[in-house]
Structure 1
Amino acid sequence: MFNLMKTAVLMAAITALFMAIGALIGGKAGMMFALLLALGMNVFSYWFSDQLVLRMYNAQEVDETSAPQFYRMVRELAQRAQLPMPRVYLIQEDAPNAFATGRNPEHAAVAATTGILRVLSERELRGVMAHELAHVRHRDILISTISATMAGAIGMLANFAMIFGGRDEEGRPANPIVGLLVAILAPIAASLIQMAISRAREFEADRGGAEISGDPQALAAALQKIQRYAQGIPLEAAERNPATAQMMIMNPLSGGGLKGLFSTHPSTEERVERLLEMAARGVR
């Protein structure tokens, strides 16, 4: 129920941003158009945003024939988590990372880069995929997928406002400085909305993943290794679609420009510390 409330708040906040930008572009008419657009995108995001994100990353679905060891690992962890078997995808990228998507556990997918399969040991990879399945079990995947899709749309609409200008209530051209400010501030506002729900969600997925795998130390070691390797290997799809970065187990962005101002992930050091505390308490 709490995650349903968070989803409703997210949709309302994104819709309000759409309406504000629409009002800048076309006054009351622009506001109504933006409202209808936001409602349409919310419906689209609910049903199709997982497919859109997987397509952004050129993710290829695999099965027990094409990726037997990885597929069986996910299946075993899903059984431990008492979840339906999700669809399993691989992304041909050297950067080590992984994410989960979908609208509910019955329509979930997990994806990992080929880089993470090469970098991590089997034990560490189990910890990572258990983390992603914890997102599925906590029903975080709908929130993260919708926020990624809608935040990207906010950025595009804000750029439209900057390029084509806007109208005030009397239909007169708006101040171009206002359009520039909106183009800068609207994506930041969308990022703040993502940040408001993302950091705590990652801590909970770490905890849940450690319980599913029964090995908090493996996930802690995986996070440390991913951070070391990811620093020197860009994830091109994430750089092109920065709104999707918060879906990953580790922030994949290089940090250049405005993309580096806000991080939707807590520090790796704090995440590792919490996991090692779980291990010290004998969590299995």
Structure 2
Amino acid sequence: MAGSKFIPDRGLTTRMVLTMSLLGIVYVAFIILLILVGMPWYLVVLVIGGFALVQYVSSDKIAMYSMGAREVTPQQAPELHAVVDRLCAMADMPKPKVAVADTDVPNAFATGHNEKNAVVCVTTGILRRLEPVELEAVLAHELSHVAHRDVMVMTIAGFLGIVAGFLTQMGLRFAAFGGGGRSNNGGPAPAVIALGVVLISAIVWALSFLLTRVLSRYRELSADRAAAYLTGRPSSLGSALTKITGDMARIPSRDLRQVEPFNAFFFTPAFSKSGFSMSQLIATHPPVEQRLAQLADISRRLGQGA
């Protein structure tokens, strides 16, 4: 975030460092335990190293492709680029790529593992619904994710969960169809090894899932604060949040489910379940009421300082 005029957030920095440190410990333990239960070390390196490389290098391209987004030039989307240009000048940060996803789901997200390949994407649904000042506030929120580098941290943090989930599925299939006989060298049966991999991977997936969810909720509050102070109009961000959340209920469930995997990166979740749930524990975003309360408090502070 060096050079950026977004307000610094030591709480976010501390949480990112803590999350990455804890995930690093889990990551090392994961590798050791996989080898101890009998998984060949070269296979562990191949699977985990391969996933890490693909996730780190291609995260932005994967997100863009999955959302059906396309990069747009200033000639293709002059008004959108003008807003991003103005915000980047205000924040004193490099301009990221700008993209549009053709979906009626009103949302926005930022992706990319560094500022050089960062992308800020909005959907056609959000462009149709928001007023210019509301869109500016949402884009400021997304740009703050890039400036704080929490997009990169979330990308790296999410990788461990992907690997663990992959190994869990593969282990279950192998245990079901691999047979129960002992190995040729007298070691444990392949099915036993597979079940050991499944157990370890499931635990690692759960730990990484919870750690990234805690970080995700805080980073959304941090981005709201940064955007509110940069634009000086927290009410515009609150208006956008209220409008998007309200309109989300009118989007067909099928469309919401298609983009639900990107909830952690969206401005606001694209899908929410009603009724009792463990939503506060597994949610990617804090409650809308909490976000609006924070923005209202910032409005009062800015009013008092005027």
2:211 to 187, 193, 203: 193
Q: In the superposition, relative to structure 1, how do residues 175 and 33 fare at CA in structure 2: closer, same or farther (>3 Å)?
A: closer
Identity of aligned residues (%): 30
The whole-number CA distance in structure 2 between the counterparts of 1:216 and 1:81 is 16
Shift of 1:73: 0.7
Q: In the superposition, relative to structure 1, how do residues 238 and 44 fare at CA in structure 2: closer, same or farther (>3 Å)?
A: farther
The whole-number CA distance in structure 1 between the counterparts of 2:259 and 2:208 is 14
Residue of structure 2 equivalent to 1:170? 187
Residue of structure 1 equivalent to 2:238? 220
Shift of 1:112: 0.9
The whole-number CA distance in structure 1 between the counterparts of 2:228 and 2:264 is 20
TM-score by length of 1: 0.83
2:268 to 250, 265, 273: 250
How many corresponding residue pairs? 281
Shift of 1:32: 5.4
Residue of structure 2 equivalent to 1:211? 229
The whole-number CA distance in structure 2 between the counterparts of 1:67 and 1:161 is 47
Q: In the superposition, relative to structure 1, how do residues 156 and 144 fare at CA in structure 2: closer, same or farther (>3 Å)?
A: same
Match of 1:282, SS? helix
Residue of structure 1 equivalent to 2:69? 59
1:229 maps to 2:247:
yes
The CA RMSD over aligned residues, in Å, is 3.4
1:15 maps to 2:15:
no
The whole-number CA distance in structure 2 between the counterparts of 1:216 and 1:182 is 45
The answer (yes or no) to whether the contact 1:99–1:111 under 8 Å persists in 2 is yes
Shift of 1:220: 1.0
Residue of structure 2 equivalent to 1:138? 148
The whole-number CA distance in structure 1 between the counterparts of 2:99 and 2:251 is 20
The whole-number CA distance in structure 2 between the counterparts of 1:31 and 1:245 is 34
Amino acid at match of 2:187: E
Moved more, 242-251 or 12-21: 12-21
Match of 2:38, SS? helix
- Listed as ranges, the matches of 1:95-174 within 5 Å are 95-165=105-175, 170-172=187-189, 173-174=191-192
Residue of structure 2 equivalent to 1:37? 47
The answer (yes or no) to whether the contact 1:210–1:219 under 8 Å persists in 2 is yes
Residue of structure 1 equivalent to 2:10? none
Can you give the 5+ residue segments of structure 1 that lack an aligned partner in the other structure? none
Q: In the superposition, relative to structure 1, how do residues 237 and 53 fare at CA in structure 2: closer, same or farther (>3 Å)?
A: farther
For the pair shown, the structure with the greater C-alpha radius of gyration is 2
Moved more, 222-231 or 189-198: 189-198
